């Protein structure tokens, strides 16, 4: 259990155990319980915004190249500073490199199942990913679940940390609303390799697929979604609060799903492709995709 989660279990008003004893039982220091992490400075937030914009254009930039890019823009900043900010944002350069990271012993990594697979219908493959969202006075993280065939965004959540919980909530909502996919694809991030996250999928009979390390192209459709979302929504609005951000994301996702034609979908919207193809595949005696009856039917099949 992470320190942040253990701190949440400590109660200042416990009738029997003082704070010191609760901290001892949970394996954290008393100072650690009272510690409140400081937010990033205004200068760092501005740099993170620039890093995020450039990373969309050049995802192969590591900290060294990103430092040079910022220097060309007039920012005197060291490479170690840039590397810390990129880590805080969850950004890692895409390139071939030696195996320098040893997987967590409790986190299984699953094979990539989509290579040479013909994806021909909705709910055959879903994917998920996390991205950094800059705001005027801070930042949040966004996770989204997408149907690979139709490009439809099925669910999303924002969080101020990269814990597993908000990823699980997004997947649980998508399954509750639309049933379950045959395959669920993610990268090898610790949130997605977490046993808690994987068990949510396996308990309803979903096959788990994971990209190769550093192979962002394996999940390219959701990477394109991040690019569109940031240029068309996030960068155009300097969101002040989390509630403003959620409202803005809700409006943009509605536009993306329901009213924005896609050239890759022959000029149709993701909603049109998802509902039309799913309904045709279900047949006349089956409920349409996304309906409550179809959800219940899928849950029974999964059981």
Summarised one tens digit per residue, pLDDT across range 149-184 is 999 999 999 999 888 999 999 999 999 999 999 999
The label of the residue with tokens 């995020």 reads 52
56-to-9, 96, 205, 223, 224 alpha-carbon distances in Å: 38, 19, 34, 9, 9
Q: Is 106 a member of any domain?
A: no
Q: Is 201 a member of any domain?
A: yes
pLDDT average, residue stretch 261-273:
91
Contact 44, 88 (CB under 8 A): no
Residues 59 and 166 in one domain: no
**Which residues constitute the domain of residue 85?**
42-89
pLDDT average, residue stretch 64-81:
92
Residues 132 and 274 in one domain: yes
* Rounded Cα–Cα distance for residues 120 and 167 (Å): 26
End-to-end CA distance of the chain: 30
Q: Is 18 a member of any domain?
A: yes
Which pLDDT tens digit goes with each residue over 222-252?
Answer: 888 998 999 889 988 888 899 999 999 999 9
- Count of the separate structural domains present in the chain: 3
Q: What is the mean pLDDT of the chain?
A: 81
Residues 52 and 146 in one domain: no
Residues 14 and 61 in one domain: no
pLDDT average, residue stretch 139-154:
95
Smallest CA-to-CA distance from 299 within 176, 169, 202, 184 is with 176
Cβ-defined contacts of 42-45 (< 8 Å, 24+): 42/137, 44/85, 45/134, 45/137, 45/138, 45/139
Q: Is pLDDT at 98 greater than 70 in this prediction?
A: no
3-class DSSP state of 259: coil
3-class DSSP state of 150: coil
* Rounded Cα–Cα distance for residues 132 and 162 (Å): 10
* Rounded Cα–Cα distance for residues 72 and 69 (Å): 5
CATH at residue 184: 3.30.420.10
Query: What is the pLDDT at residue 277?
Result: 67
* Rounded Cα–Cα distance for residues 183 and 127 (Å): 8
């Amino acid at each position: 259990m992470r320190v942040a989660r253990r701190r949440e279990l400590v109660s200042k008003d416990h009738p029997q155990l003082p704070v010191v004893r609760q901290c001892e039982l949970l394996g954290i220091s008393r100072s650690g319980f009272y510690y409140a992490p400081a937010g990033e400075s205004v200068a760092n937030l501005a740099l993170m915004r620039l890093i995020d914009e450039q990373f969309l254009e050049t995802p192969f930039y590591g900290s060294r190249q990103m430092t040079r890019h910022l220097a060309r823009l007039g920012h005197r900043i060291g490479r170690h500073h840039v590397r810390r900010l990129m880590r805080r944002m969850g950004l890692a350069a895409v390139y071939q490199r030696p195996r320098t990271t040893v997987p967590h012993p409790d986190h299984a990594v699953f094979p990539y199942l989509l290579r040479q697979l013909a994806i021909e219908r909705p709910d055959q493959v879903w994917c998920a990913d996390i991205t950094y969202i800059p705001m005027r006075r801070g930042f949040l993280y966004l996770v989204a679940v997408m149907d690979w065939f139709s490009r439809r965004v099925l669910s999303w959540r924002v969080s101020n940390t990269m814990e597993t919980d908000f990823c699980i909530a997004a997947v649980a909502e998508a399954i509750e609303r639309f049933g379950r996919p045959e395959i669920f694809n993610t990268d090898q991030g610790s949130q997605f390799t977490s046993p808690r996250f994987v068990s949510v999928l396996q308990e309803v009979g979903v096959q788990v697929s994971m990209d190769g390390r550093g192979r962002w192209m394996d999940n390219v459709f959701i990477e394109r979604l991040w690019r569109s979302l940031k240029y068309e929504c996030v960068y155009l609005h300097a969101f002040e609060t989390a509630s403003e951000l959620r409202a803005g994301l809700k409006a943009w996702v509605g536009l993306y799903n329901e009213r924005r034609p896609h050239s890759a979908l022959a000029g149709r919207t993701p909603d049109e492709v998802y509902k039309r193809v799913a309904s045709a595949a279900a047949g006349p005696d089956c409920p349409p995709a996304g309906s409550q009856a179809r959800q219940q039917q899928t849950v029974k099949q999964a059981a």
